[in-house]
Amino acid sequence: MESSRSSSRLIWILLLATLVLASYGGVGNAESDLFGDTFLNYELPCKKIPPSPTVPDHVTKVRPSDIKVAMGIGDSSSAGFVMMYEKFGDSINEFRGRSFPNGGDPGAATIPNFLKSVGANVVGGGRGSNVPLMFHYVPKNMRANAFDFNKAQLAAAASQGILVDVPDLVEYLHFHLNKTDPPVDNEKDWKLFTYFIGSNDVCHVCDNKETSFSNWIDGYYSTLALIKEKFPRTIVNVMLINNIVRTEEISVGKKCNNLRRFLEFCTCLNNEQGRAAMAERRANITRVIKESVTKINKLNSPEFRVVLQPFMEDYKIDLDHLSPFDCFHPNQKGSKIWSLALWNNMMSPPKLKKHYIEPNIKPICPTENTYLVYDE
């Protein structure tokens, strides 16, 4: 199968890329050698708010400062792949400690750190960096220990991850939940779970049966039901897929685009027919996600709710939000912007949530009357 050849090539090239880059030359471009230390550290300019006087007994009463656990599932964008790459010779690791949904490195612009800034005492954020882990190719009987827990913690983002991998990622999280410091009380502690999957399912629409849309029709709802089963007292942030086709449109002719093609990553981007198929698949997946969120929330559980955070839906990504390694994954600036967009939607009731990212985005600061779930 063509996709298998592409995946094998990607794995080997990622392992060897540092040596290749050191001998061949850079893949960056002048426009993308941008940031210096500007985005390395960021402190949310908000006051701490006290947690609720008693542990909330209903999901609609949970303040940001009541969250005890930050966890999540995603793919390479959530793992921070090539996030810190700026120029030839830089690391091509996963920087999950600094990645927007679940990073825990001090000073990083991440949701767990934002929660700490407003008074939450949270565990679960990823730490540091690691070589890319292609979780999809790890044998199923080894997946519970596939990540280095000391680094990954509860940031279960997997490069090349697709929807069919999610049940095993959920099992990893459940298996390690009581290994944090301090340990998590799964029955009593309120948890925030950020769920961002589907980009690889879109990328491989024209070359991989494992990403068939038939997997999504019932499969996505099943993953939400599994999260509900495994993790009581949980609020799930569900993110929609951004317009991946735009990454090709804004990077044509760039060295990073040429490298993406050489790596045979997201090959459907390389021709008009493939891009059209990707746009259709994205639209269908978006519909399934929205329908699944509505369906599971109709259960009206007092201890579980899924919140759609739609800022990716109409987001027009800029080239300076993307890594100059491949013009595909978010760089430091992109990760910070995504963190702020997700945070602001978290702080907003449904009718005020943004479906795009505002230019010059500024953070919304919570008050004692800010809750993470609002029933419509």
pLDDT tens column, 179-230: 999 999 999 999 999 999 999 999 999 877 677 888 999 999 999 999 999 9
Q: Is the pLDDT of residue 30 over 90?
A: no
Query: pLDDT for 109-138, tens place per residue?
Result: 999 999 999 999 999 999 999 988 777 778
The whole-angstrom separation of Cα 137 and Cα 163 is 14
**Predicted local confidence at residue 14, as pLDDT:** 53
Residues 6+ apart with CB under 8 A from 252: none
**What is the Rg, in whole angstroms, of the alpha carbon atoms belonging to the chain?**
19
Q: What number of other Cβ atoms are within 10 A of residue 90's Cβ?
A: 18
H/E run at residue 214: helix 214-230
Contact assessment for residue 244 and residue 274, using Cβ atoms and an 8 Å cutoff: no
pLDDT grade for 144, boundaries at 50, 70 and 90: confident
Q: Answer yes or no: are the C-beta atoms of 370 and 53 closer than 8 Å.
A: no
Q: What is the mean pLDDT of residues 303-308?
A: 98
Answer left, alpha or beta for residue 189, where phi above 0 means left and psi between -120 and 50 means alpha: beta
Q: Which domains does the chain possess?
A: 2-352 (3.40.50.1110)
Distances (CA, A) of 255 to 242, 243, 321, 325, 328: 22, 21, 16, 8, 12
